[in-house]
Amino acid sequence: MDSQDDKILRVHRTKAQTKESYDKISWFYDYFAGVFEKKFRNMAVEQLKIKEGESVLEIGFGTGHCLKQMAQSVGENGQVYGIDISSGMLEVSKRRLEKAGLLDRVDLCCGDALKMPYGYNKFDAVFMSLTLELFDTPEIPKVLGEIKRVLRSGGRLGVFSMSKENGNSLLMRLCEWAHEKFPKYIDCRPIYVERSIKEAGFNIEYKKKVGLVGLPAEIVIAVRVIYDF
């Protein structure tokens, strides 16, 4: 990734600033952003093929729509976990799950995915929707490394993210410009989704390029490599 076109922009705002920002917008996030994400985040969850009885983690669960969907999929014998940096988002998700009668199937945690409080080989699947691109560039392989640690051999990773691998549109360049000019307010920017996941040692099983309100995005489903000794 040495050329200017290959460059992934850095994230300059602190974790504290990120938490504060998402805490503030948590109660109305669905009204201005959630509606645009719904179609593709649902598509990504469906491609993850969550089964009854599985243990599943969502990183950056936001307002809890996918948590609800996954809790329904794992059934009474499964368990869903969620980690998010925003306590405001956690409260919104908790109310959504309580209303659906699914809170007993979901364990929510407020924290940073760079250091997750879960043991090795705990999950059958891990999911991220518009979250991986919020981490600073050097943090992306570290987050993926943490995911490998908590995933079982053969476990699945599902990622829906803004993508530099899906063309170089005017809107993408505008998004990158806004990210550079207003780093404390525009935290997301396109990243190399498939490439980053491959470099972390996952096998890609499914990929689909999509357009998120005109912005290039990608759905990737990958599998943690099973090693035979």
pLDDT digits (tens, 9 = 90+) for 198-218: 999 999 999 999 988 778 899
pLDDT mean over 2-17: 78
Task: Summarize pLDDT for 45-73 with one digit per residue, the tens.
Answer: 999 999 999 999 999 999 999 999 999 99
| pTM for this prediction | 0.92
Which architecture does CATH list for 4-224? Answer: 3-Layer(aba) Sandwich (3.40)
Segments making up each domain of the chain, as ranges:
4-224
Q: Is the pLDDT assigned to residue 175 strictly greater than 90? A: no
The DSSP secondary structure of the chain, one letter per residue, reads --SGGGPPPP--S-HHHHHHHHHHHTTTHIIIIIHHHHHHHHHHHHHHT--TT-EEEEES-TTSHHHHHHHHHH-TT-EEEEEES-HHHHHHHHHHHHHHT-GGGEEEEES-GGG-S--TT-EEEEEEES-GGGS-GGGHHHHHHHHHHHEEEEEEEEEEEEBSSS---HHHHHHHHHHHH-TTT-----B-HHHHHHHTTEEEEEEEEEEETTEEEEEEEEEEPPP--
Q: Is the pLDDT assigned to residue 32 strictly greater than 90? A: no
Query: Residue 183's pLDDT is what?
Result: 73
Work out the pLDDT band at 166, boundaries 50, 70, 90: low
Query: Residue 140's pLDDT is what?
Result: 97
Query: Residue 228's pLDDT is what?
Result: 47
Q: Is the pLDDT assigned to residue 184 strictly greater than 60? A: yes
